[in-house]
Each structure stands twice: as structure tokens, then as C-alpha cells.
Amino acid sequence: LGSGGMGAVFLAELDVDGTRQRVALKLLHGVPTQEGRRRFARERSLLAGLNHPHIAALLDGGESEAGQPYLVMEFVDGLPISEWAHRERPSLRTRLRTLVRVCRAAEHAHQRLVLHRDIKPGNVLVRGDGNPVLLDFGIGRVLGDTLAVTETATLAFTPAYAAPEQLTGHGLTTATDVYGLGALIFEVLSGVDLAQFAAPGAVLPAPSSVATDAHARRALAGDLDRIVAKSMHPDPARRYETAAALADDIERYLAGRPVLATPDSVGYRVRKFLQRHRAASAIAAAALLLMAGFVWRLDVERQRAL
């Protein structure tokens, strides 16, 4: 099915008491040390505890006779989310709802002390029914009880989608995955490959400034640009605190409510209120105009009578 820095993934069959199931078999590179085996077993047990409809399930794992670690994952038949967006041309709202599900899946893992560390379009597949599935938690890291990150048996990330702290290898927290989710949102909404902005020292543009579609540029400008910017801020402390907070802000946008990524002001709240209640606002404005016209007419008639 594919290969990379972590190893190779094969389509395989799992035979359980005569019942065959298609699975993805991931063979990891290298032979772990004794300490690495202990960590690998602990991480595998935590990954097996992830039970979410939008996370590919870990079914089994262990070592081959030669000592090569392997993971048996649920096989997901779908398209990478960026390819899905390009082929299917879903509406902006459909894309955002799909991204919210991915954020909720990441939050589920974080609550169970698992950090993904490699959230990118290739690790999110969208099934034929439109549901996304987050893959490759097999290279995730385990979060300690105080959110201090322990060592892990595997180290990997994709530079184009990696948070700044991943490049130094220090301070990895749930904010690292929030950055990856922001990168995912950038690419799915703009339709532009984020890798072209991955040069050292390059300044990340706003999604609306690089989107190829004029309608998308107008739709992304404003709140969605700011949501992406907050998610991908170089300083982890200035990103969304959790993946759930990012999902909540996207849902606020979908509901027409003020988003946390945009600086608050009276004018902004009034504008969002009017956008959220377009019909009622139009009726109220028309009623005010009629009342004003009626008062003006009464004044004219009064002056004439006098």
C-alpha cells in the first residue's frame, strides 16, 4: 500500500478462527532494544485503547521471528483528504464539517494520552460515504500524566506539516498536533500543496491569498484565515489549547457566531449577528424604514394642517 521513513505498509488478511478480514500490515524499520521493546509494548497497549469511528483501529502488533516490529491496523478504503477535496469538489461547509470530525478524533487520542505527531493529508483518508479516518497512530508518542512526553520507540514526522518544535525535538505537546490540524485545514480549504511553503524561513501566507478559486478566496478571507493562523502559530502557547477548542471554533464559524481567533469588538459581534439572522434583520430594517416613513408623513400632514 505504501512505504516511508517508518517502514512499509502491505495489504494483508487476518485470519481469526476461519474468518478473514482485510487489514493493513505495517512493518517498522529496525530492531528495538530491550528498553525499546518495553516502550513499544506500552505504546501498543495505549493505541489499542483508541476506540473512535474516525480513527483506524489497531488490531494487533508484535515482532516477527527476526525481531522486526509490526502493527496490524484496520484497512481503510478511501482517498487522502486533499485528493478527496480536489476530486469531489465538496462545498466549503462539507469540508469544514469533515475537518471537525478529524479534530474530534485527535482530541479522543489526546484524552487517552496519545500524541499523533504526523497529521497530514496522506494520513487522513475519506471513505466513500464521506467519513474521514485518521491513520498512522502507530508512530504516535505517549503523553505522561503531567503531559510531559516520554521517549518513544519510533521517531518520525513530515517536514512540510511539522510544527517548529518538532524540528528541534523538544517541547512536544498536544499543541504539536493542533499545528498539524491547522496545516490540514490550510491545504483542504485552499486546495494548495503546503509543501511549497516549507522552505526554511518562509513566511506562511494566508489561505485566502493562495487559493486558486476566486469564490474560495472570498470565503476564506477573515475568520477562516485567522483560525488557520492561530492553529499554526509558531509559538505553541498562542495556538488553540486543544484540538477540541479548534473544532469548537470551526463550529462557531459554521453557526455564524463570533470565533475566538478573531479579535473581539462590538462591530464584529454586530456583523456576525446580522449575518446569522439575515431574514429577521431584513424584516426589522424594513419595519424601521416603514415606521420612519410613517412618522415623516405624519409630520408633513401636521405642518400642512398648521
**Helix/strand/coil (H/E/C) assignment for every residue in the chain:** CEECCCEEEEEEEEEECCEEEEEEEEEECCCCCHHHHHHHHHHHHHHHCCCCCCECCEEEEEECCCCCEEEEEECCCCEEHHHHHHHHCCCHHHHHHHHHHHHHHHHHHHHCCEECCCCCHHHEEECCCCCEEECCHHHCEEECCCCCECCCCCCCCCHHHCCHHHHHCCCCCHHHHHHHHHHHHHHHHHCCCHHHHCCCCCCCCCHHHHCCCHHHHHHHCCHHHHHHHHHCCCCHHHCCCCHHHHHHHHHHHHCCCCCCCCCCCHHHHHHHHHHHCHHHHHHHHHHHHHHHHHHHHHHHHHHHHC
Contacts of 120 (CB under 8 A, 6+ apart): 158, 160, 161, 180, 183, 184
Residue 169 has pLDDT above 80, yes or no: no
Q: Which pLDDT does position 58 carry in this prediction?
A: 87
pLDDT tens by residue, 263-275: 645 565 656 555 6
Among residues 60, 118, 136, 225, the one annotated as catalytic is: 118
For residue 98, the model assigns a pLDDT of 97
pLDDT band at 150 (very low <50, low <70, confident <90, very high): very low
- Mean pLDDT of all residues in 44-64: 86
- 10 Å CB burial of residue 74 (0-12, 13-18, 19+) is middle
- Measured CA to CA, the distance from residue 64 to residue 74 in angstroms comes to 19
Task: Give the pLDDT score at 203.
Answer: 79
Q: pLDDT > 70: what percent of the chain?
A: 85
Q: And the C-alpha cell for 183? A: 496545516
First to last CA, the chain: 91
- pLDDT, residue 149, reads 40
Which of 144, 139, 72, 74 lies closest to 112, judged by CA? 144
- pLDDT confidence bin for 145, thresholds 50/70/90: very low
118 is catalytic: yes
Residue 142 binned pLDDT confidence (cut-offs 50, 70, 90): low
Q: Provide the mean pLDDT of the chain.
A: 84
User: Is residue 138 predicted with pLDDT exceeding 90?
Assistant: no
pLDDT digits (tens, 9 = 90+) for 213-237: 888 889 999 899 999 999 999 999 9
Q: What percent of the chain has pLDDT over 90?
A: 40
Return the higher-pLDDT residue of 71 and 242. Answer: 242
- Per-residue pLDDT at 176 exceeds 70: yes
More confident site: 152 or 137: 137
168 confidence band (pLDDT: 50, 70, 90): confident
Write down the pLDDT at residue 299: 86
Which pLDDT band holds residue 295 (cuts at 50, 70, 90)? Answer: confident
* Highest mean pLDDT out of 32-46, 167-181, 252-266, 276-290: 167-181
pLDDT attached to residue 213: 82
pLDDT in tens, 154-165: 455 778 888 888
Q: What is the mean pLDDT of residues 62-74?
A: 86
